[in-house]
Amino acid sequence: MREKRSARREFLRNSAALAGGVTLSAAAPAFGQAPNQSPMIKGEREGEIGYGARSKYITSARIPHGSRHTPDNFGLTFHVATPLQDQVGVVTPTSLHYYATTRGSYLPDIDPAKHTLMIHGLVDRPLTFNVDDLKRLPSVTRLHFIECAGNRASRSAKTVQETHGMTSNAEWTGVLLSTLLKECGLKGSAKWFVAEGSEEVKGASSMPVAKAMDDCFVAYGMNGEAVRPQNGFPMRLMVPGFEGILHTKWVQRIKLVDRYYMNYNDFGHLDQEQKVAALDYQIGPKSVITYPSGAQRLPGKGFYEIRGLAWSGGGAIKQVEVSTDGGKKWNKAQFQGTPQRMAHCLFTYGWQWDGNETEILSRCVDEIGQAQPTREQIAKYWNKTFDQTFSVPGLDNSVQPWKIAKDGSVTNGFA
């Protein structure tokens, strides 16, 4: 028995060293101090039994995204970014999930008992489904990210919420679109489908039928509860891996057609060539360090766990690398959990900071071999100057650098 206790004490002493003599200079010694007694909450805080509340000391919040289009001409804030710097794990809390609405549209107030989804066009049997109809059918529950095409690096942004906050990751529950299309009897001539939402300015989008039959689904659940109004209540279309504008919220109509349609959401950001347009939908591999990141401060030299998120519309992330010297040397990061297809994954890297000025970056590769590019590689691809790449339209999945000064302050590496 004594030998077992001695072995356990030895194990704990070794564990405290955090493998390799890590210096935890930021942690204060305890010296047998007793914990301070916190005041007790007397009774129930308002509404807490009916629907739980977070601690008053946690103040993480969404912010209007720094897009040049927000607010729009109607005075509406339609781009709202999630605080990635505060996220724990890979699931974005429902109340902090980013959202975007079609310009000029107010949030629809939908009675779920009156809402329906009509599927028509090139099908044998046009059908209408309500929420109860969907809940009777076989369901799927999957973890997926959604990302706005405007989620991109910026020189003026100070925080990771400002640079990358237009993406979030949630657990979605619903019915496969392929199940609904089979119920309707999909015709062989149907090559594309158009999905339309219930907002005032119809957010309709064209997508290939092949994608509909692969992994699209109509979601009525989000993180274990009903989808929130800002995210499409009572039902929304999930198009895993495709840019956010195609994940039609408040979906009310899906029409099967034989050709590509140019709709409101399609105009201006897709190529008129059908084959190119279909490929342009997909989000490329992207990663970003969320700690330490812009506007944060390291209290002193010593050990830090670098943390970040990586995702790709091409499938699961296969590898993430981190550089702590401005890209001269790259080190393999660890995954916290198994990366899922078209979902955020959490990566970490143990780092001993020596207190000197440096720059940290991350890059990733997905399961189909796509690699996250640097800003220089993007400039070469588009035949643009480095400065011009910040205004190139379309998706931007470039590597994001964070500069760390000697005083521990962290700033945007592009600033």
Q: Domains of the chain, with CATH numbers?
A: 95-280 (3.90.420.10), 286-412 (2.60.40.650)
Question: H or E element: which one contains 255?
Answer: strand 253-257
Percent of the chain whose pLDDT exceeds 90: 63
pLDDT digits (tens, 9 = 90+) for 273-303: 555 555 567 899 999 999 999 999 999 999 9
Q: Any bridge partners for residue 411, and if so which?
A: 403
Among 167, 254, 161, residue whose Cα is nearest residue 207: 254
Could you tell me the pLDDT band of residue 120, with boundaries at 50, 70 and 90? very high
pLDDT higher than threshold 90 for residue 262: no
Average pLDDT of span 232-250: 94
pLDDT digits (tens, 9 = 90+) for 352-411: 999 999 999 999 999 999 999 999 998 888 888 888 888 766 678 999 999 999 999 999
Among 282, 277, 252, 256, residue whose Cα is nearest residue 267: 277
pLDDT digits (tens, 9 = 90+) for 11-39: 444 444 444 456 666 666 666 666 677 77
pLDDT higher than threshold 80 for residue 264: no
pLDDT digits (tens, 9 = 90+) for 303-321: 999 999 999 999 999 999 9
Query: What's the maximum distance between 2 C-alpha atoms anywhere in the chain?
Result: 78
What is the pTM for the complete model shown?
Answer: 0.89
Give phi and psi for 377, each to the nearest 5: -65, -35
Among 92, 67, 36, residue whose Cα is nearest residue 152: 67
Give phi and psi for 100, each to the nearest 5: -145, 140
pLDDT of residue 84: 97
